Chain A
Amino acid sequence: MATARLNTHRVVIVGAGPAGVRCAQTLVAAGFKPILIDENRRDGGQIYRRQPEGFTRSYTTLYGTEADKARDLHESFDRLRPQIDYRPDTLAWNLTPGQLCCVSQGLHTTVDYDALILCTGATDRLMPIEGWQLGGTYSLGGAQIALKAQAVSIGHRVVFMGSGPLLYLVASQYVKAGATVAAVLDTSPLGLRIKALPKLMARPGLLFTGMKLLAQLYRAKIPVHLGISPLQVLGEAVTGVSGVRVRTANGETLTVACDAVALGYHLRPETQLADLAGCRMRFDEASGQWWLEVDEEGRTSVSGVYAAGDGSKIRGADAAEHAGRLVALALLRDLQLPVDAAQVAEQRQALKVMDDFRLGLAQAFPWPAAQAKALPDEAIVCRCEMISAGELRRTVSEKGACEVNRAKAFSRVGMGRCQGRYCSQAGAEVIAAAAGVPVQEVGRQRGQAPVKPLSMLTREVAP
């Protein structure tokens, strides 16, 4: 019975980051041969992204304190590769019940599944600032990828602005790699970090690593300002960024000259495929954003659809590895296959600690919702199509659009190339502030297929 299921049950994992790889590994150990679909050319996801062939930097240079984890994940994957059906460079762009639609190198294929495990990860969470459309403004994660995957700095003088642990991590990685960091500008004030200490003590090692990063920045004499309010990215339309202007915690205006800005406020989950599958979402109060509704082991509200990693709950790479293992065990249990109860308990316990820690992070480095309300009317919210905060506000005041999808229809905020990845959360805050209601009441932008733009040249593979 069990053997029959192993041979016929088609398991498809989307995403080869820490969650997807650990999930695949656990399923292979149980006798499955899952299909692992990944949009990237190489495994590792964003956090443990592998540099291209021919690059020679060491694991320590690339991943710092996380070098052993990165190496272990990559080596696990290399051992796993002959035992799975690995499909890199493949975009899963739509799904119907039991079937995933994919494109790889211009060719369209469908992949049938009995169980689908979404390990789709996250992208940077952005709050607009006047001038952020200027060339030379990058997402914080993008700035890190430039260094990690390509050994370049995004500019000659770089400002890191936003909030969250990634701000300090990437800034210190830039310093270490020899880039010029002009300043680190954090919107969260010191007081919140002190208040969050009891929760952050859930992972003392990680807290210590964070403090070491800050100490490294101070030692390198990088100006670090806490509790700032971003005002403007300065520059010209054609030549791009020339500086940033912020208000410091004591109310002074500070201008920092730079030719690049790395901007970001922690992460937002990639939930489009889960949304298309009809999975329920829930509003996470702590982070102020919509997350996928999953049980503690990664089951979504739709039978046969599972999720793990930052695509379901933003808890970071370590949690993603545990959640990847746990979701595989959940699937085995749902198929009435033998599961080691101790292994389940171990993953759940590890995740509980990480849940506590992530609440501490949310408290220490909050999403700056109030900035959306303060955005000047002329500030661009949608950088894809240059739609301003004022235009979005008018959909509320003049057309009564108090729901994000309605406001999107009127304003096109969320309809451009990025499909709302970088504007819809801030857009929702702008709408909520204009309508005078809490942000969860204006809803969330629905996922739409294709989840990323497809080329008109895409061809179907003959059956």
Chain B
Amino acid sequence: MNARFVRLAEQGRPIVKLTVDGVPIEALQGDTLMVALLTHGPALRQSEFDPGSRAGFCLMGACQDCWVWTRSGERLRACSNEVREGLDIITQQPEAIWPLRG
């Protein structure tokens, strides 16, 4: 799938390796999780209320559209958490899914 975000500058930063849904990816030091994920694919998570995928909205911690999870179940706001070496990210909500999903 195509990347959503496009890097325009600041590409000389050291590489940080993390895993997203079991797949290893490379990001740059100082990237938010959102930038790390969306420079590799089009979405951050699946909506709980429809078949749509979501890719964040406000980037300032106000809308909560960009939640992702660590494998241990910790919820992270992708727009305001930076990548760390070895992070193991899951984009599927680990909690119960609402039966409304179409």
Q: State the A residues within 8 Å of B (CB).
A: 39-41, 46, 51-57, 123-124, 133-139, 141-143, 145-147, 149-156, 177-179, 237-240, 259-260, 270, 383-386, 417-418, 421-422, 452-453, 455, 457
A sample of 19 inter-chain contacts (CB < 8 A) reads A51-B10, A53-B30, A123-B58, A123-B62, A141-B60, A142-B57, A142-B60, A142-B79, A147-B8, A150-B32, A151-B8, A156-B6, A238-B51, A240-B43, A270-B62, A418-B65, A421-B62, A455-B75, A457-B74
- Pairwise interchain contact B30-A54, C-beta atoms closer than 8 A: yes
- Pairwise interchain contact A240-B35, C-beta atoms closer than 8 A: no
Nearest residue, chain B, Cβ from A237: B52
- Pairwise interchain contact A383-B65, C-beta atoms closer than 8 A: yes
Question: Taking the nearest CB of chain B, how far is it from the CB of A436, in angstroms?
Answer: 30
The digit string for B11-35, where 1 denotes a CB below 8 A from any CB of A, is: 1111000000000000001111001
Question: Taking the nearest CB of chain A, how far is it from the CB of B49, in angstroms?
Answer: 4
Bound-complex Cα distance A422 to B64 (A): 11
**Are A138 and B57 CB-contacts (below 8 A) given A240-B43, A386-B49, A417-B65?**
yes
Assign chain B's interface to a size class: 35 or more
- Pairwise interchain contact A386-B10, C-beta atoms closer than 8 A: no
Q: State the B residues within 8 Å of A (CB).
A: 1, 4-14, 29-32, 35, 38-39, 42-44, 47, 49-65, 67, 74-75, 79-80, 82
Bound-complex Cα distance A154 to B35 (A): 9
**Hey, which chain A residues are within 8 Å of B14, CB to CB?**
54
Main secondary structure of the interface of B (DSSP, over half): loop
Which single member of B56, B61, B65, B79 contacts A384 (CB below 8 Å)?
Answer: B65
Nearest residue, chain B, Cβ from A139: B58
**Hey, which chain A residues are within 8 Å of B53, CB to CB?**
135, 237-240
- Pairwise interchain contact A124-B52, C-beta atoms closer than 8 A: no
**Are A237 and B59 CB-contacts (below 8 A) given A53-B30, A57-B9, A151-B10?**
no
Nearest residue, chain B, Cβ from A156: B6
Question: Taking the nearest CB of chain B, how far is it from the CB of A56, in angstroms?
Answer: 7
Nearest residue, chain A, Cβ from B7: A152
Bound-complex Cα distance A133 to B61 (A): 17
**Hey, which chain A residues are within 8 Å of B32, CB to CB?**
149-150
- Pairwise interchain contact B6-A452, C-beta atoms closer than 8 A: no
- Pairwise interchain contact A179-B62, C-beta atoms closer than 8 A: no
**Hey, which chain B residues are within 8 Å of A138, CB to CB?**
56-59
Question: Taking the nearest CB of chain A, how far is it from the CB of B1, in angstroms?
Answer: 8
Nearest residue, chain A, Cβ from B11: A151
- Pairwise interchain contact B58-A124, C-beta atoms closer than 8 A: yes
**Are A154 and B5 CB-contacts (below 8 A) given A142-B57, A422-B58?**
yes
- Pairwise interchain contact A56-B58, C-beta atoms closer than 8 A: no
- Pairwise interchain contact B8-A237, C-beta atoms closer than 8 A: no
- Pairwise interchain contact B57-A139, C-beta atoms closer than 8 A: yes
Given A135-B44, A153-B6, 9 further pairs, Cβ under 8 A: A145-B60, A146-B59, A153-B5, A239-B1, A240-B4, A240-B43, A386-B47, A417-B65, A418-B62
The 3 closest A-B pairs by CB, nearest first: A417-B64, A135-B55, A142-B59
Which single member of B4, B50, B80, B82 contacts A155 (CB below 8 Å)?
Answer: B4
- Pairwise interchain contact A152-B39, C-beta atoms closer than 8 A: yes
Bound-complex Cα distance A62 to B55 (A): 24
- Pairwise interchain contact B74-A52, C-beta atoms closer than 8 A: no
- Pairwise interchain contact A237-B51, C-beta atoms closer than 8 A: yes
Question: Taking the nearest CB of chain A, how far is it from the CB of B74, in angstroms?
Answer: 7
- Pairwise interchain contact B4-A142, C-beta atoms closer than 8 A: no
- Pairwise interchain contact A136-B55, C-beta atoms closer than 8 A: yes
**Hey, which chain A residues are within 8 Å of B60, CB to CB?**
46, 123, 141-142, 145
Question: Taking the nearest CB of chain A, how far is it from the CB of B28, in angstroms?
Answer: 9
